[in-house]
Amino acid sequence: MLLFVAGLATILYLGLNAEPASTVVLLPDADGRAGALELRTASDQQRLDTPYASATSNARGVFVTAVQDADAVRQRYAQTLDARPGKPVSFTLLFEFGSAQEVSPDFQPVLQRLMALVSDYPAPEITVIGHTDRVGTLLDNDRLSLQRAQTVRGWLIQAGVDPAMITVAGRGEREPAVATADEVARAENRRVEINLR
C-alpha cells in the first residue's frame, strides 16, 4: 500500500510540475492551401504540410501529430483567431507630373476606404511609399518621391490617423509600376503606395 501511495504521489507531482504541452496548427491560406512548417525539439522533428495539421510536443519534446477538423479548430481557437490582424491592404494614388501635391481625383474615395479599414486592425501600421517616373535625375526623383510620401502622410494625419502609425519612404524611379526607358513620363509610375497592415 505504501508503494502505491508513493507512486501516486510521484505521478501527481510530475503532473503538477510538468511543463505544459505546446500545440501548433497549420492554417490554410484563403485559397485553402497550406505551406509547410518544420518543427524541431532536442528529441524530435516533424513537418506539417497539410491544412489543419497539428503537432503537440509533450514534456519530453516528442511530437504527437494529427490532422484536425476545420470547424473544431475554429471553435477551440476562436479567441486567438479573432485576435489576428486583418489582411494587409494596399492603395495607390497617382500624382501629376513633377508635383508632390497634385494628386488624381480618386484620392478622397481612397482615403475614405482606408480610414474605414484602419479600425479593423488592433495595432495598425501604415507604410507610405513614394515613387516617380523616369524623367529627371536620380537625386531629384528621390527627393520628389519622398515629398509625395510626406504629403500623403500629412493628409492621413489630418484625417485622424495617429502619426506614430505611419512610416514613409521614397523610392524615386527605382521601382516602376511600368518599366520604361529613361526620360519617359509614365503616369502609373508617379504614385504613392499606401500599405495598411
Q: Is residue 58 part of a domain?
A: yes
Residue 17 has pLDDT above 60, yes or no: no
Tell me, yes or no, if the pTM score tops 0.75.
no
Sign of CA pseudo-dihedral 194, 35, 61, 56: positive
Q: Is the pLDDT of residue 13 over 50?
A: no
Give residue 19's pLDDT. Answer: 56
Where are the strands (E) in 141-190, listed by range?
A: 166-170
Whether the Cβ atoms of residue 50 and residue 26 lie closer than 8 Å to each other: yes
Residues 181 and 94 in one domain: yes
pLDDT tier at 150, thresholds 50, 70, 90: very high
Identify which has the larger pLDDT, 197 or 29.
197
Q: What value does the mean pLDDT take over residues 59-85?
A: 84
**Rounded distance, CA 177 to CA 165, Å?**
25
CA-to-CA distance for 100 and 122, rounded, in angstroms?
31
Cell 519612404, residue? 169
Range of the domain at 74: 20-82
Residues 140, 189, single domain; the answer is yes
Residues 48 and 137 in one domain: no
Q: What is the pLDDT of residue 187?
A: 94
Which of 60, 82, 104 represents a domain boundary (last residue)? Answer: 82
How many angstroms separate the CA atoms of 140 and 79, rounded? 50
Q: Write down the pLDDT at residue 58.
A: 84
For 186, the grid coordinates are 509614365
Q: Are residues 76 and 50 in the same domain?
A: yes
CA distances from 49 to 15, 37, 52, 96, 161 (A): 32, 6, 9, 47, 39
pLDDT band of 28, cuts 50, 70, 90: confident
pLDDT of 5 higher than 50: no
Distance CA 142, CA 130 (A): 9
Average pLDDT along the chain: 85
Q: Any idea what the Cα angle at residue 88 is, between residues 82 and 92, rounded to 5°?
A: 150
Does residue 101 share a domain with residue 67? no
Residue 127 sits in the same domain as residue 161: yes
pLDDT at 20: 58
Residue 161 and residue 69 share a domain: no
| CATH number, domain containing residue 124 | 3.30.1330.60
Which run of H or of E encompasses 47?
Answer: strand 45-48
User: Which residues have C-beta within 8 Å of that of residue 76, sequence separation ≥ 6?
Assistant: none
Together in a domain, 112 and 159 = yes
* One domain for residues 159 and 109: yes
